[in-house]
Structure 1
């Protein structure tokens, strides 16, 4: 019987007792009223007394019946709520109606472990039983009891642990499974027909050690391989939203674009799709596969570079006066790779086929005019990066946005000539500087313009203030860098 129902029934019984008591008192009061009237003076006093006693007797009988029923129901309710809590080390393992329910589940758990591990198990933890009251919703199901037993009871089995450089990494059911896991790690290289490896080994010292451990920590073969390759069980993903790019996602999670690419080898980081789920966990494998293969290669030899000073060029300017030429060589070597990436070579023989020719670069020493470009850009304003370069909201964002307070100074990122200063549609108030070296910079949504078209400006000169003109949702600087008219990522030149 449901605990809540019994509580409600007992409450109703108490209410009925109050009702009977109330009407008994009303009856007595009415008899007393009639006793004081003239119409009742002729009644026999003995009959009046008998009627009064009769009402009291009826009321008392009703009270006894209801009270007895309530007590009986309470006893039945307490009986139906009787249960046992099974504890392990002071922590609850299950709640059952009878202890037999737990011991039956325990035997089933033993059988499951025995079938899975093909061996007997030992139970070393002490089980405690405590009598409690519990409704049906609190009772642990047979299946959940088995799961709790396997996960929390100290069931110990013989297993094999994989040790890496002396540290236990993972446990498997037997040596055969552990050896199979290690073979699977090498399989991608063993099965490659194109490459003839002279050796395939592990970078780390890998050992198999037989141990006696808890059954709950034993892993399946597939789970073990995934854990060793990734270096963690953690799963963390991001669903690509409209307007996001690999760069913006990496920035959001304090990762690099290379990290995103490494974590998602099957995904093109330059072509993310809305709704696509990408992993944010950069693999850090516990075991690295080292291969060595013999190769005969013809390679280029990089040329050296020499520098010469000249007063015919401005300081900071350079000019190639002798073009360098790469040389060629034939190499016989053992190529060493870790997880498929070359990390070193053991050269056996090298034959030079042609010598490289040194490149000569002239460096200017003549003082540079203040308004002439230095070739390096500085940050155009103070503030925080609020939007990056690339696709945003389904459209290409050709610069970066730097949020700042209205009126904040905007400075020329480098010296040059102002080729435009005025209103330009969605840009609002816009300044364009031609740095006369193939680069132009754009400064948009300005509040005030402090230069005019045709002015020459030097690097760091104040040219405008931050505003929210044009297509803008708040004060910020939209900053663009263009190379020969084509927008390029400003973060390749400035830092925010």
Structure 2
């Protein structure tokens, strides 16, 4: 027994070493198998986005027993410029969605006009801004103000802040040319970095403008015209999409028009008779014509026209078509109408009780232009009728028919 023990002095130690080695191998194997089973079993889709499968964005949490995403600063890049950086992608998305939500009410579609991207930032020195700061910067709702001091003027303030006077008035609608010490003025307004486009479909009634058709009339002089048929606008139902930029209407796209009522053309006759032809005038009074005073010398002075007897408030008619160049009071004539017939011819109608036309009106031959009266220098109701050629009185009887 003693010899046996002496012949193998390390037998006990050897057995212990082999046992320890086996246990180590078994433990390591079990650990590896557990890790493989765990990794296969976890839902990796909860941690990896389709955009980025990099393990650099994740760390293994011993406490949670799984991989967790590491928050990385995310920049909102607008039209190629890094505008603001938030602590993570979720905050950046929340900011953009919050801006869009403000314009969704009643809209078919809401989107950014700008090219907007989210970019993760690796630099540790980047400035991280809060959600509120990001909204303020992107929506441009910040303003810079200035408190007016002694001896300030709008001009000096505009020079100080390098803005125009028009801009000061636009930023401060209630401001006049007078300002006072202590008054607070807006001198700068940040414009929105993002332009939100919202689209709304509307349906409304609209007019269809009528056309004017001109037709020639050889019986009227070239300077005369008259409406033969009144025009009337049509009606249509319009379906359109309105595009708003940050709440302000910018564009209107008509997508459908349905005519409810067709427009009716206005028809106007236009005279073509040569003005160089001597005019042929109608008497300004209808019925039996009684001339109480003719053209020529009377009581040592020229009576520049003829007087035609008539009853009070009888109609006075235009002797020919033309344009009213005077309608008002004239000493001696009382209420007077002057009609220019072109080619230098003008007719006068005096002593009217009431004028039915005004300066600039176009009148037709035979149209009522005034009523018989006794205004001015007269002893009874009648019409004083004159014809002037290039401003010089001529005998009306040469032109009356």
User: With structure 2 as the length reference, what TM-score do the two structures score?
Assistant: 0.36
Query: Which structure exhibits the higher relative contact order, with contacts defined as CA atoms closer than 8 Å and separated by 6 or more residues?
Result: 2
Point out the structure with max Rg over C-alpha. Answer: 2
User: With structure 1 as the length reference, what TM-score do the two structures score?
Assistant: 0.30
